[in-house]
Amino acid sequence: MIGIVSYGVYIPIFRIKPSQIAQAWGKGFGEIEKSLGVYEKTVASYDEDAITLAVEASYQALVNAQIKPQQIDAITVGSESHPYAVKPSSTTVAGILGLPEELLAVDLEFACKAGTAGIQLLADFSQAGHAKYCLAVGSDVAQSRPSDVLEYTASSAAAAFILGKSNIIANIVDFTSFSSDTPDFWRRDSEKFPSHAGRFTGSPAYFAHVLGASERMFEKTKMKPQDFDYAVFHMPNAKFPKEAAKKLGFTPKQLEAGFIVPQIGNPYSASSMIGLAAILDVAKAGDKIFMCSYGSGAGSDAFMFEVTKEITAHQKRNQETVTKQIKDKEYIDYSLIAKNILTKYRI
């Protein structure tokens, strides 16, 4: 059985409220936070990008597992905001962490599900006997055009999961995917910011793929929503995952532990992975976890995990829980964000 051996999360300390962003652009802001269900979001510092966030999360995963960097045989870094168009993030992260050069290093892109795609690929890579330990990372400094509706929720964070066959804290029981050519979100190579299809990103995109992957997983595993202790979905806002969960038959209680979007916003590739980490922070042996990511363009990856008795030791070692990092925050003014945007994109 292949499973999660360890995980680490990095949530930047800076926060801003969506209402302040709306106010900065002279828009009505009274109902912004309530309508989105997002009350504040994380903001990367001027010297942070998807690589630095990935390094922080990966380092934490290694520390929690008490695994030496030289024991990692493969790494994937999934992101929608790789710092370079041509130059891999994965080799940079590997070099900073001290991973061996005899290493499979891969960058992945699939909007907000690039991180979970890495978990699937590395699980099979490990199952085939090509690696003892693999590192799957989802990291984003989410991009959004200034004053666009995406700016209210697009945030920054990273999650890293070490996969292997020994000292497993959660078995990967099964996984599946559901994909189609649905152009709800895109950015051409020469463009600075992504574009989106507005309301089209809802039912024809997010819900079709999340429900499609989830229902396929139920069929494969012969499981029902009530058989799971926890559930987590990609969280572009607070409404979509709640509605998807309700349509599938999950309860609000099952969502609660991993529902982090109101406090940190949508860190794209890291969204569902941080939700999973938050669940593992409190889960007990025998608990069953359902996870379904979503990436525009479009596709979803659905997983079933079963927690093992090794989770207790990992929880004792983990000093940087999701809850702790959410509480550790500092609010900043929108003028600082605007300055970074102007500098980075030379507007």
Q: What are the per-10-residue average pLDDT scores of the chain (347 residues)?
A: 97 95 80 89 95 98 98 98 96 98 97 97 97 98 88 97 97 98 82 72 83 98 98 96 97 98 98 98 98 96 98 98 98 81 57
| Active-site residue, 234 included | yes
Of 33, 80, 310, 320, catalytic: 80
Give me the pLDDT at residue 164, please. Answer: 98
Q: Return the closest-CA partner of residue 292 out of 181, 201, 140, 179.
A: 179
Q: Is-contact 67 5, C-beta < 8 A?
A: yes
Cα distance between residue 3 and residue 307, in whole Å: 9
Q: How far apart are CA 101 and CA 13, in angstroms?
A: 32
Say which of 82, 112, 209, 310 is annotated catalytic: 112
Q: What is the pLDDT of residue 192?
A: 78
> Rounded to an integer, what distance in angstroms lies between the CA atom of residue 266 and that of residue 142?
8
Within this chain, domains 3-170+312-345 and 173-308 share the same CATH topology: yes
In whole angstroms, what is the distance from residue 25 CA to residue 88 CA? 35
- Three-state DSSP class for residue 159: strand
Q: How far from 120 is each of 126, 135, 137, 173, CA to CA, in Å?
A: 10, 11, 12, 12
Contact (Cβ atoms closer than 8 angstroms) between residue 56 and residue 10: yes
Length of the chain: 347
CATH 3.40.190.150, applies to 173-308? no
Helix, strand or coil, per DSSP, at residue 239:
helix
User: The tokens of 327 are what?
Assistant: 């509480």
Secondary structure class of 190 (helix, strand, coil) = coil
Domain boundaries, the chain: 3-170+312-345, 173-308
Tokens representing 346 are 């030379």
pTM: 0.95
pLDDT at 336: 77
Catalytic residue (one of 82, 209, 234, 314): 234
Domain 3-170+312-345, CATH among 3.40.630.10, 3.40.47.10, 2.40.33.20, 3.40.50.10470: 3.40.47.10
Check if 320 is active-site: no
Instruction: Look at residue 199 in the predicted model and tell me its pLDDT.
Output: 60
Please say if 134 is a catalytic residue: no
pLDDT recorded at residue 31: 76
